[in-house]
Amino acid sequence: MIVMKSVEDVVKKYFDRSVTDRERAIFEGAVALGAIYHQFLGIPVCKDEGIIRTLEETISKTMKLQPYRESVEVKINADEIKGEKSHAYDYETLKGRHLDVKVRTKFGNTRAIVRMRHIPEIEFTLMYIEKMEEV
Amino acid sequence: MIVMKSVEDVVKKYFDRSVTDRERAIFEGAVALGAIYHQFLGIPVCKDEGIIRTLEETISKTMKLQPYRESVEVKINADEIKGEKSHAYDYETLKGRHLDVKVRTKFGNTRAIVRMRHIPEIEFTLMYIEKMEEV
Amino acid sequence: MIVMKSVEDVVKKYFDRSVTDRERAIFEGAVALGAIYHQFLGIPVCKDEGIIRTLEETISKTMKLQPYRESVEVKINADEIKGEKSHAYDYETLKGRHLDVKVRTKFGNTRAIVRMRHIPEIEFTLMYIEKMEEV
Amino acid sequence: MIVMKSVEDVVKKYFDRSVTDRERAIFEGAVALGAIYHQFLGIPVCKDEGIIRTLEETISKTMKLQPYRESVEVKINADEIKGEKSHAYDYETLKGRHLDVKVRTKFGNTRAIVRMRHIPEIEFTLMYIEKMEEV
């Protein structure tokens, strides 16, 4: 049986020894953003509050399982999504521009706050490091 | 503006004229199964009841938005999933063998009940037409 | 060891006994369409011929592995995709409207030709049964 | 019209000002790993050399389109995959343990080499920073 300490110790061996806690926090946050975009895009959605809330909650709870996540906040911009279903083909699928995601990761004494959201100025769903904190 | 009737009428033109209501119900149910497997596989999961319930609900509600779905029942087999998280890397990702999905579609007077679940005998996550009903 | 005949015989037991070869061909084709849309959406693409050809080939070859597929033809509409990369953020991700997919499935003596492509008239990536053939 | 320089300048504004070139290279590499795992898992595969090579090439070429990637090397471990198809259901779907991915990103004068591969010792598809280089 592998106990908690040893798994994390095994993992540590694989990382370049020059990597700092701050860099590790950034690494973990960035993995989360890439994962969320490519896992959840394409899911059918409509402007129904209940459906949007449940989907936000699922993304948040499941992606928080990955290592060193403190929180995963997900906001789906309902304003950008088609209204409630009025006929059989009246819905759309989740796109990058619908998403506003903020992930907090913590490694050692450093917290990285990374974010993904649509930036109209460049018409791109940008992933970036919003803030670094010592804790 | 496109009204309800006309969208469905436009769609009808694209289907081979020999296609029956029963075949259309089967078609829609099968699309749902292919979609669910390939959309949701890979999501992080653990044996936490709350997380599993929320994920089941999200799959059910979002996939029901597609045309002619009456219901999408999703059961994730928690017994097959690792226990509650005890260290940073202690979780797994959703696999076909975790899923038991039943989709009811209705077109005209016919209902198709299609299903996807792991069949141990052939070690395969099988998609099949479980039952056809006239309604 | 399970031999070819027996796996297919095992599978047959799970299908409703009223299901015809024609319906089975439709079922398999529809699974393919749902699978393709939800598996490949979100992949980064640009107008580079080499990249588009390779992606088309991958979708075609991998999805043909599923049961009873005769062929999977994939055309990605390069005209709808951004030009060759001119800066770090100058690419987009694969969307439904980029895809034109034709899948031929054969079960017993029946072939189903199913298709998925963007229909401008209804602004929707439609999946439909294009043609049924006895062979 | 937005020219090359300005897009990258706009992007820079969103990043915390304390972020170094080295951290940015790590960030971009980690996004790539999260993206690859969650985009490509679930694709049907078998031990056919041609199919495996084409899929490796597609992952490599498409994921290299994301910002600041120098190279994306993808090795799918064919030894772990079922043999050539002998019956309709004789194939499997791509899993984390099949993948060995090495991504090189470069930002300013720093290169990050990040990697994802299955580590038998912890039964986990690990993502890690393999090496940092000044260039």
**pLDDT per residue as tens digits for the range D30-44:** 999 999 999 999 999
B88/A7 touch (CB, cutoff 8 Å), yes or no: yes
Chains with 3 or more CB pairs under 8 A to chain A = B, C, D
User: Which residues partner with D90 through β-bridges?
Assistant: none
Residue A38 touches chain C, beta carbons under 8 Å? yes
- Is pLDDT larger for residue B5 or for residue D58? D58
| Rounded Cα gap, residues A60 and A35, in angstroms | 12
D88/C8 touch (CB, cutoff 8 Å), yes or no: yes
Instruction: Compute the Cα dihedral for A103, A106, A111, A112 and give only its sign.
Output: negative
| Rounded Cα gap, residues C115 and C104, in angstroms | 9
The chain B residue lying nearest C8, using CA atoms, is B122
Has residue B5 got a pLDDT over 90? no
Between chain A and chain C, the number of residue pairs with CB atoms below 8 A apart is 19
In this prediction, residue D124 has a pLDDT band, given cuts at 50, 70 and 90, of very high
A38/C37 touch (CB, cutoff 8 Å), yes or no: no
Has residue D60 got a pLDDT over 70? yes
- Is pLDDT larger for residue A6 or for residue D134? D134
- In CATH terms, is domain B20-83+90-134 a member of 3.30.1300.20? yes
Lowest-confidence region among A17-21, C100-104, D45-49: D45-49
In this structure, which topology does domain C20-134 adopt according to CATH?
Pantoate--beta-alanine Ligase; Chain: A,domain 2 (3.30.1300)
CA D25 vs. chain centroid, Å, equals 14
* Structure-derived torsion over alpha carbons of residues B97, B100, B103, B104, reported in degrees to the nearest 10: 150
Q: What is the mean pLDDT of chain C?
A: 94
Averaged pLDDT, C4-19 = 90
pLDDT tens for each residue of A63-86: 999 999 999 999 999 888 877 778
In this prediction, residue D104 has a pLDDT band, given cuts at 50, 70 and 90, of very high
pLDDT tens for each residue of B126-135: 999 999 999 9
Percent above pLDDT 70 for chain C: 96
Averaged pLDDT, B97-112 = 98
Would you say C28 and B34 are in contact if contact means Cβ atoms under 8 Å apart?
no
Residue D2 touches chain A, beta carbons under 8 Å? yes
The per-residue pLDDT for D1 is: 54
Would you say D35 and D99 are in contact if contact means Cβ atoms under 8 Å apart?
no
Measured between CB atoms, which of A19, A33, A121 is closest to D31? Answer: A33
Q: What is the per-residue burial (b if ≥16 Cβ within 10 Å, else e) of B88-113?
A: bbbbbbbbbebbbbbbbbbbeebbbb
Residue A16 touches chain D, beta carbons under 8 Å? yes
User: Which residues partner with C129 through β-bridges?
Assistant: C114
| Rounded Cα gap, residues C115 and C30, in angstroms | 9
Would you say D33 and D41 are in contact if contact means Cβ atoms under 8 Å apart?
no
Lowest-confidence region among A81-85, B8-12, D43-47: A81-85
Helix ranges (H only) for chain A are 4-14, 21-40, 49-63
Has residue D4 got a pLDDT over 60? no
Among D5, D89, D103, pick the best mutation site for testing chain C contact (most C Cβ within 10 A).
D89
Considering only residues 88 to 117 of chain A, which have any Cβ-Cβ distance to chain B shorter than 8 Å?
88-91
Has residue A60 got a pLDDT over 70? yes
Among B36, B93, B128, pick the best mutation site for testing chain D contact (most D Cβ within 10 A).
B93
User: Which residues partner with C36 through β-bridges?
Assistant: none
D90/C62 touch (CB, cutoff 8 Å), yes or no: no
Residue D35 touches chain B, beta carbons under 8 Å? no
Chains with 3 or more CB pairs under 8 A to chain C = A, B, D
Percent above pLDDT 70 for chain D: 96
Measured between CB atoms, which of B68, B87, B91 is closest to A4? Answer: B87
Would you kindly state where each structural domain of chain A is located, as residue ranges?
20-134
Label the pairing between strands B69-76 and C69-76.
unpaired
The per-residue pLDDT for D73 is: 98
Has residue A11 got a pLDDT over 90? yes
Q: Is C85 helix (H, G, I), strand (E, B) or coil?
A: coil
C8/D46 touch (CB, cutoff 8 Å), yes or no: no
B41/D93 touch (CB, cutoff 8 Å), yes or no: yes
Averaged pLDDT, D74-84 = 87
Q: What is the mean pLDDT of chain D?
A: 94
Chain C residues within 8 A of B124 when measuring between CB atoms: 7
The per-residue pLDDT for C5 is: 57
The per-residue pLDDT for C80 is: 83
The per-residue pLDDT for D6 is: 84
Q: What is the mean pLDDT of chain B?
A: 94
Question: ipTM, 2 decimals?
Answer: 0.94
D122/A31 touch (CB, cutoff 8 Å), yes or no: no
The per-residue pLDDT for D82 is: 76
Would you say A134 and A106 are in contact if contact means Cβ atoms under 8 Å apart?
no
Between chain C and chain D, the number of residue pairs with CB atoms below 8 A apart is 85
Has residue A1 got a pLDDT over 80? no
Would you say B101 and B117 are in contact if contact means Cβ atoms under 8 Å apart?
yes
- Helix (H) and strand (E) counts for chain A? 3, 6
Chain D residues within 8 A of C24 when measuring between CB atoms: none
Q: Smallest CA–CA separation between C100 and chain D, in Å? A: 18
| Rounded Cα gap, residues A61 and A78, in angstroms | 20
* Structure-derived torsion over alpha carbons of residues A30, A24, A58, C39, reported in degrees to the nearest 10: 50
CA B132 vs. chain centroid, Å, equals 16
Chain B residues within 8 A of C122 when measuring between CB atoms: 2, 7, 10-11
Residue B87 touches chain A, beta carbons under 8 Å? yes
Q: Which two tokens stand for residue A116?
A: 């993904």
Q: Smallest CA–CA separation between C51 and chain D, in Å? A: 6
Between chain B and chain D, the number of residue pairs with CB atoms below 8 A apart is 19
Measured between CB atoms, which of B32, B39, B128 is closest to C14? Answer: B128
Q: Could you tell me which of B24, D34, C97, D44 has the C-alpha nearest to residue A114? A: D34
Name the helix (H) or strand (E) containing C25.
helix C21-40
In this prediction, residue D132 has a pLDDT band, given cuts at 50, 70 and 90, of very high
The chain A residue lying nearest B45, using CA atoms, is A62
Averaged pLDDT, A126-131 = 98
Averaged pLDDT, B54-81 = 96
pLDDT tens for each residue of C67-105: 999 999 999 998 888 777 788 998 999 999 999 999 999
The per-residue pLDDT for A106 is: 98
Label the pairing between strands B99-107 and C99-107.
unpaired
The per-residue pLDDT for A64 is: 98
The per-residue pLDDT for D5 is: 57
Would you say A41 and C42 are in contact if contact means Cβ atoms under 8 Å apart?
yes
| Rounded Cα gap, residues D130 and D135, in angstroms | 16
Name the helix (H) or strand (E) containing A117.
strand A110-119
Q: Up-side HSE of residue C107: CA atoms within 13 Å toward CB?
A: 20
Has residue C1 got a pLDDT over 60? no
